[in-house]
Amino acid sequence: MARTIFHGVGTAIVTPFSADGSVDFEKLKELTEYQITHGVSAIVACGTTGEKSTLRHEEHLKVIETIIATSAGRVPVVAGTGSNDTLYTLELSEAAEQMGADALLMVTPYYNKTSQNGLVRHYEYVADRVNTPIILYNVPSRTGMDIKPQTYARLCKHPNIVATKEANGNFSALAQTIALCGDKLDIYSGNDDHTVAMMAMGAKGVISVFSNLAPDKMSQICQKALEGDFTGATALQSYYLDVMNSMFIDVNPIPVKEAMNQIGLDVGECRMPLFPASNEVKEKIRSALAKANLL
């Protein structure tokens, strides 16, 4: 049986930036506190939503360190340490482990990519050298790589590989993965709008973008699903569906940062090459937030 890291919502927290483009670590502390006090079950640092790809090495580690210190053991902190370089993935993973991260989130290698055998070798190389449990991250739309069910079946045999954030949108493949891995691999939805459906299939929760701006609402959805109230969970998810979908009308995390700024959380803009939301995108987000009574 896999070591479950959390049940419910893990927020893929944004990285706030000051007007000069530097990381706003005081705001990051505020955001972490906001998430915890509004009921999330975990914080995921330095993922896609956290703009990991434009954080310098020292910034990356300090973001993780700041979130761990602020959370002070109240919820698990999952550190994004994946890259397309196996040795650098190990370097980040060892550093996060030394800081006290509760789990490591490792995206599949991107751009250079690899084969399915290469994926196994990549993940096992790191898993053999750390003690912290690993959550795989499968997001083909970003990486060009897809972890196949048969590959999951090989990877979940490693005692340090305990879960996956699954964002390929393929429910048939998900069903096959569940059949092959059983309780050796926990599953988290990587898409907010798939949360209830995936939890109905056995997922433990979601690593969420939407919860950045409405952590209590996403927590309520997951709690209903965990209690087996899938009708109630579906109804609540449907109520916020337009907002969830509006988080992806431009490249993540452009829309979620815009939404957070609109509701007063003031997280700044994204780093280049991401570009601020257009007036059209801003208005669509504002309309969705107003409709869901989040403004």
Q: Which residues are catalytic?
A: 137, 165
- Torsion angle of alpha carbons 202, 215, 78, 141, nearest 10°? 70
Report the SS3 class of residue 164.
Answer: strand
What are the strands, taking DSSP E only, across 42-179? 42-45, 77-80, 103-107, 134-138, 161-166
For residue 57, the Cα-to-chain-centroid distance in whole angstroms is 20
Q: How far apart (Å, rounded) are the C-alpha atoms in residues 80 and 60?
A: 9
Which among 56, 82, 80 has a CA at the least distance from the CA of 68?
Answer: 80
Q: What is the largest CA-CA distance in the chain?
A: 50
Helices (H) and strands (E) in the chain, counts: 13, 8
The CA distances from residue 158 to 117, 125, 129, 132, 220, in Å, are 15, 11, 12, 12, 33
DSSP state letter for 79: E
Q: How far apart (Å, rounded) are the C-alpha atoms in residues 9 and 129?
A: 28
Q: How far apart (Å, rounded) are the C-alpha atoms in residues 222 and 233?
A: 7
Cβ proximity of 295 and 264 under 8 Å: no
